[in-house]
């Protein structure tokens, strides 16, 4: 068996032969929302086999949006399979807020992420090692996002592969107390981007507070429900505006 597949062959298998990916790429979680991004673009073309996406223009700039699916392995594999060295990559996701200052609806930029995920082991990282984003790209993201949202935090994230385990007290013994959020994408996103010579930055918005009594099992206040709906509704346009604002 030939195990030495070319990067181009891998990319064609997962993304399709007619793929034309831009130099700026947005990675989102769900296929179902791709059509919402497409509404803002002109000159659109869709692509994908395993991972699906769309390429088009926003205010004359060519960009691509790719749906990774949910979970660290899908995020990491998607980024790793994409043969676009030098591309500017933005990951947009959701997270749980850990720091006491965070509230539901807040935004967070992950400068670094702890490898509590598993996928990063396959790229040479030890458990609980730390991956980092591209410093210049993160500065550009921070400058843009702080002008667009009312509440923004930044710093260290913990990337996990399990949501169910968060319900067990001993789970939190392994989460570094310096981590301000917990999510399922940043560490593999950064590790895969670095391994394939892409520039990466990741940001999230807070959907729950797993250590502060507002997790998936608890009823939210009307204000929290309103904040979540507001962020969900504004996510598509915010993602696109941030992507085109990033300095490549």
Counted domains in the chain: 1
Query: Could you tell me the residue range of the domain that residue 64 belongs to?
Result: 7-245
Domain membership of residue 1 (yes or no) is no
Domain membership of residue 25 (yes or no) is yes
The pLDDT, as a whole number, for residue 181 is 98
Domain membership of residue 142 (yes or no) is yes
Domain membership of residue 67 (yes or no) is yes
* pLDDT at residue 4 greater than cutoff 70: no
pLDDT tens digit sequence for 17-41:
656 889 999 999 999 999 999 999 9
Q: Is 113:186 a contact under the CB 8 Å cutoff?
A: yes
Place of tokens 């993602």: 239
Q: Residue 31's domain is classified under what CATH number?
A: 3.40.50.1580
Domain membership of residue 81 (yes or no) is yes
The total of other beta-carbon atoms located within 10 Å of residue 247's CB is 11
Domain membership of residue 139 (yes or no) is yes
Domain membership of residue 2 (yes or no) is no
pLDDT tens digit sequence for 111-130:
999 999 999 999 999 999 99
* DSSP conformational letter for 214: B
Domain membership of residue 60 (yes or no) is yes
């Amino acid at each position: 068996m030939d195990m030495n597949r070319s990067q181009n062959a891998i990319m064609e298998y997962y993304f399709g032969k007619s793929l034309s990916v831009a130099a700026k790429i947005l990675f989102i979680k769900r296929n179902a929302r791709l059509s919402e991004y497409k509404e803002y673009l002109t000159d659109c073309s869709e692509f994908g086999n395993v991972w699906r996406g769309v390429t088009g223009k926003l205010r004359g700039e060519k960009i691509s949006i790719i749906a990774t699916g949910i979970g660290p392995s899908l995020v990491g594999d998607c980024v790793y399979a994409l043969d676009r060295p030098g591309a500017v990559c933005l990951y947009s996701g959701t997270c749980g807020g850990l720091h006491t200052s965070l509230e539901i609806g807040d935004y967070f930029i992950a400068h670094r992420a702890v490898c509590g995920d598993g996928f990063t082991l396959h790229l040479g990282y030890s458990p609980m090692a730390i991956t980092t984003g591209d410093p210049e790209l993160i500065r550009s993201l921070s400058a843009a996002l702080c002008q667009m949202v009312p509440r923004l935090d930044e710093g260290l994230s913990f990337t996990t592969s399990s949501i169910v385990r968060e319900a067990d007290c001993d789970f939190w013994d392994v989460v570094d107390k310096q981590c301000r959020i917990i999510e399922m994408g940043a560490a593999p996103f950064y590790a895969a981007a670095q391994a394939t010579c892409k520039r990466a930055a990741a940001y999230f918005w807070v959907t729950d507070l797993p250590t502060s009594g507002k997790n998936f099992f608890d009823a939210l206040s009307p204000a929290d429900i309103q904040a979540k709906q507001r962020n969900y509704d504004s996510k598509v346009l915010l993602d696109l505006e941030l992507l085109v604002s990033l300095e490549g």
